[in-house]
Amino acid sequence: MINTVTKNYDSITNEFCSYQVTYVNSNRVKSVPLDTANTDYQAIQEWIADGGVVIDNPPE
Amino acid sequence: MAKLIGNAPNQVPTNADLGSMAFEDRKNYATVNSSIHQPFRNLIINGDMSIAQRGTSVTGITSPGYHSLDRFNMNAYNIASAVYTMEQSTDAPIGFYNSLKLTPTTANGTQDANEQFNIEQYIEAQNIYNLDFYTATADSVTISFYIKTNNTGTYPISLKLSDNNSISSNTATRLYRTTYTVNSADTWERKTVTLQLDTSTSETRPTGNNFGMSVLFWFGAGSSRDGGTANTWEGNGNNCTLADNLNFLGNTSNEVYLTGVQIEKGTSASDFEFLPYDVNLQRCQRYYTMIASGTNKLVALGGAYSTNNAFFIYYPKVNFRATPSIDVSGGSNYFLLIGHASSSSVNDFFLEGQTTNEIVRMANVANFSGTTGSVYFIQTNNANAYVALEAEL
């Protein structure tokens, strides 16, 4: 079960490039690409649709 | 046939000359091919349970997902207090070396009405292009497998077909439920199930690297997850059929072993199609690749873009189905970045832009401290650390 989702920004271009996901009761961390065919990406979209809020700290 | 001999050089026979030889019905051709054991006829990957990149024995599982054997996903939903183990066993029928073993280590107590406990393998749409379905003359497929369990009786099995790239759990997905019987306790038995694919013409065939088909082996179903109609295609209900009191997780004495899983075109089961280990591994790595697991294992080579920004490139062994996720066991100082005669410990990584299913760029900007322009490599720094790439269906 997803715990948190945070936007990652490319360290060179500063563009939004992936999601960092943590899970409930787990030390597992996933970095998920912005690819609609990726099932982790699909799960994040479902989580957002169910009310999940993505943490967004864009680089300055 | 006499005209095939001809009476002058450079003659080309016409269809009239060839007669019935000039046309071979495609359906007949497919049947002939099936009987001569077409290579790669098995739509299932890792059906002999030889690949377990995530671990050969995973204990304490309370959740759904991929846990041990590659390509075999556990749908374990609403299992109450149940805890189970999934492992790659060497208890196998003659001609096999491995099987998938499931054992509850803590019972579910009172079974939840919505409990679903089954094993599912998803098949890419482009791997079933040779099957006709959603047509009035849909092909048949035969599912075969070996099973051994302490509980005799009737067990449900299901096949799903995507409608217009719907995912497995979507209500648009088409579902066929049927059963098989385990006759003898604690004895390896081979089971076969043959069914015609969906003849409904109102659905749209799935395409590309999307979900196309799946098979589900049911071992637990709450009262709201059984009782579906048998032996017909209908809309997905994520339930099974003819399975009263199917409660594998209800007793820690239960165990089930499964191997030799095969789905092939046609109305009969051929011998299980063994593939070389390396071929089997590469087929699994299209969906999941374990890069490093355990202490002091090399992950990737890269460099320091700045004093607090290190990035690394990894070339997958095979092209992934889709752009993969990085799957990391995050923990304090789980990884070391080594270079410029020093090391910097970090907790995890993230996926950078330009990553595709053919090349992966990862970075750490949270904990790294190093020398700009120097070469660095990543290695694991904890027995529980791992880095994997995942593009499962």
Q: Does residue B218 form part of some domain?
A: yes
State how far residue B72 is from chain A, nearest Cα, in angstroms: 15
Do residues B76 and B165 share a domain? yes
Q: Does residue B34 form part of some domain?
A: no
Do residues B272 and B307 share a domain? no
**Cα diameter, chain A:** 33
Rounded mean pLDDT, B204-218: 97
pTM: 0.90
Q: CB–CB of A33 and B390 under 8 A?
A: no
How far apart (Å, rounded) are the C-alpha atoms in residues A49 and B219? 31
Do residues B311 and B253 share a domain? no
Q: Which of B308, B313, B359, B367 is nearest to B336 (CA)?
A: B367
Q: Does residue B5 form part of some domain?
A: no
Name the average pLDDT for chain B: 91
Do residues B78 and B164 share a domain? yes
State how far residue B34 is from chain A, nearest Cα, in angstroms: 32
Q: Which residue of A has its CA nearest to B211?
A: A37
Q: CB–CB of A28 and B328 under 8 A?
A: yes
Instruction: Write the residue in B63, B210, B355 that is nearest to A37 by C-beta.
Output: B210
Confidence band, pLDDT 50/70/90 cuts, at residue B155: very high
How many residues in chain B?
393
Do residues B151 and B207 share a domain? yes
Residue B298 one-letter amino acid: L
Q: What is the ipTM of this complex?
A: 0.97
Q: Does residue B50 form part of some domain?
A: no
The total number of structural domains in chain B stands at 2
pLDDT at B365 > cutoff 80: no
Q: Is B328 an interface residue toward A (CB < 8 Å)?
A: yes
Q: Is A13 an interface residue toward B (CB < 8 Å)?
A: yes
Q: Does residue B339 form part of some domain?
A: yes
- CATH code of the domain containing B227: 2.60.120.260
The neighbouring-strand residues paired with B89 are B99
Q: Does residue B326 form part of some domain?
A: yes
Q: DSSP assignment, residue B108?
A: -
> Which of B249, B279, B309 corresponds to the end of one domain?
B279
Q: Which of B102, B77, B50, B48 is nearest to B262 (CA)?
A: B48
Q: A-chain residues within 8 Å CB-CB of B352?
A: 8, 10-12, 17-18
Instruction: Write the residue in B322, B365, B393 that is nearest to A35 by C-beta.
Output: B322
Confidence band, pLDDT 50/70/90 cuts, at residue B32: very low
Do residues B178 and B258 share a domain? yes
Do residues B123 and B204 share a domain? yes
Q: CB–CB of B326 and A30 under 8 A?
A: yes
Q: Does residue B41 form part of some domain?
A: no
Contact between B101 and B188 (Cβ < 8 Å) = no
Do residues B238 and B92 share a domain? yes
Q: B-chain residues within 8 Å CB-CB of A49?
A: none
Q: Is B363 an interface residue toward A (CB < 8 Å)?
A: yes
Do residues B100 and B213 share a domain? yes
Q: Is A6 an interface residue toward B (CB < 8 Å)?
A: no
Query: Which letter, b or e, does each residue of B33-42 get, where b requires 16 or more Cβ atoms within 10 Å of its Cβ?
Result: ebeeebeebb
How far apart (Å, rounded) are the C-alpha atoms in residues B64 and B122? 14
Would you write out chain A's pLDDT as a tens digit for each of its 60 residues? 999 999 999 988 999 999 999 999 888 999 999 999 999 999 999 999 999 999 999 988
Q: Does residue B16 form part of some domain?
A: no
Do residues B165 and B246 share a domain? yes
Do residues B211 and B127 share a domain? yes
- What pLDDT does B23 receive? 53
Q: CB–CB of B365 and A13 under 8 A?
A: no
Q: Is A38 an interface residue toward B (CB < 8 Å)?
A: yes
> Which of B243, B262, B279 corresponds to the end of one domain?
B279
Q: How many CB atoms lie within 10 A of CB B281?
A: 18
Domain extent, residue B370, equals 286-390
Do residues B266 and B154 share a domain? yes
Q: A-chain residues within 8 Å CB-CB of B353?
A: 10, 12-13, 15, 17
The pLDDT tens digits for A22-39 are 999 888 999 999 999 999
> Which of B236, B256, B279 corresponds to the end of one domain?
B279
